[in-house]
A and B are shown apart, each in its own frame.
Chain A
């Protein structure tokens, strides 16, 4: 029993919404990425593997994905806290904080990189403090991590915020009436409701961090095998007019990111089904 491709539905607008979605997706995203894949195909899988299968490329890919994962996990926890505080609590300066959350989007990445480096370099305000306890931040993996946390910060907070606003107080009251402690309610009632949105934000923060170039490049030392990120390798290949190798590394990153995102989206679909939405 094969499921139909699209279930019949009384909802209107199937043709229009599908048309716009698929046309624009193709024009803006799929065709350009197709061109990249085509470039890779003309290079051949063996060529791609040969380009990627080098210690330096592996080191950069591993570094990019490892630090991005740590940054996204930090943003997952911090973002949920942030959204909760911004929606539920009233305190002076709340609107200011609310506005500040979007700043990482608004500041050009290069400006963010320059500002962060100015702050966290040994001559900077925070960097000099850290330097006194022998903690070097800029030009080490710590610096990269801070830049990645910065660029991914708004994602989780902004996806979770509307969901918290939607939560009816009655749910929490019911839980409290049934004798649950506040912590229990938060963990077993509220958190599961936030999870799909939080995971979405997590996925976006992760993906954004993996591809980030502009802000990281200023604060990373860019030393091969130590602080060299994967997007930099692409730039290096481009400087040598080596479009094939650039496309190869780009494709490798794309595949890993796509696999990660797909996994997260599947977890989401599965968790929604379990909770009973959709």
Chain B
């Protein structure tokens, strides 16, 4: 480097920067963006018109509606759980904390297929609980509650796992100070904790939502895959692909990817709009 410009001591050399950026772009490109490109190329293979036409089908709409409904129910529930669990784990000291965290992580290590199996073993028509519920007219498996349970199971740890490291990093000092000043529990949570964790929470909810909409394995086991009734977007995609209707299948997959991109856009917009507000709370 002949043109030795001023470089702050807290930054890497330009060469290292460029190298790292190239590496990251290449890695993400090969592994993640390329499959996405495949999805869109396959969807648009026969033109935009054909792709859009495949979406107007009754079953495609039913699947989109069902998936959105399921996400709208399971994601908020998991968000509430995540905040409660993170609070419990980071604000208190108790024995067995590592075990509890591991139990919360457990759904990640359970193959989605096994997760579906677990729910069938618990609530299937041949089990005690399931048989009783069916007798009362509330079937779980092969109906919406089963799909919601499977989705919640698979996405269970997301929010908690995003919040715990951040809340550990922040410690308890701020909350303790607020308490000393006489603030009540909820007030401390809303005015001190929540502003500190809002981005992590948003990330968590976002990931939870994306995964909830895209879950396939667990849902496939408990849904019965009845078109227009219990077929979610991913199960419908699989069915369409099996029917050699690859344009329709990949269009629906593109819709799912776009839904994820919309939530990401929403997040970015929120960040931009509230940037000054956020900075203000940091300055106090």
Contacts and interface: CB of A to CB of B under 8 A. Distances in A.
Tell whether any CB of A sits under 8 Å from a CB of B in the complex.
Answer: yes
A61 interface: no
B253 A108 contact: yes
Interface in A19-40: 19-21, 24-25, 28-36, 38-39
A118 B33 contact: no
B39 A235 contact: no
Nearest to A165: B199
A210 B109 contact: yes
Interface string B125-169: 001000000000000000000000100110011000110111011
Contacts of A32: 115, 118-119, 121-122, 149, 153
Contacts of B113: 213, 231, 234-235, 238
A164 B148 CA distance: 34
Contact of A99 (B179, B185, B241, B264): B264
Contacts of B210: 102, 105-106
A143 interface: no
Contacts of B88: 14, 17-18, 21
A107 B214 contact: yes
B165 A162 contact: yes
Interface of A is mostly: helix
A249 B157 CA distance: 23
Contacts of A9: 91-93
Interface in A61-119: 78, 81-82, 84-86, 88-89, 91, 93, 95, 97, 99-112, 114-116, 118-119
For the complex of A and B, 7 pairs with smallest distance between CB atoms: A12-B185, A106-B260, A257-B109, A176-B9, A211-B111, A108-B234, A207-B109
Interface of A: 3, 5-7, 9-14, 16-21, 24-25, 28-36, 38-39, 78, 81-82, 84-86, 88-89, 91, 93, 95, 97, 99-112, 114-116, 118-119, 125-126, 146, 149-150, 153-154, 158-159, 161-163, 165-166, 169, 172-173, 176-177, 182, 185, 196-197, 200, 203-204, 207-208, 210-214, 230-231, 234-235, 238, 243, 246-247, 250, 253-254, 257-258, 260-262, 265-266, 268-269, 272, 277-278
Interface of B: 9-13, 17, 20-21, 23-25, 27-28, 30-36, 38-39, 42, 77, 80-81, 84-85, 87-89, 91-95, 97-115, 117-119, 121-122, 127, 149, 152-153, 156-157, 161-162, 164-166, 168-172, 175-176, 179, 184-185, 188-189, 199-200, 203, 206-207, 210-211, 213-217, 233-234, 237-238, 241, 250, 253, 256-257, 259-261, 264, 268
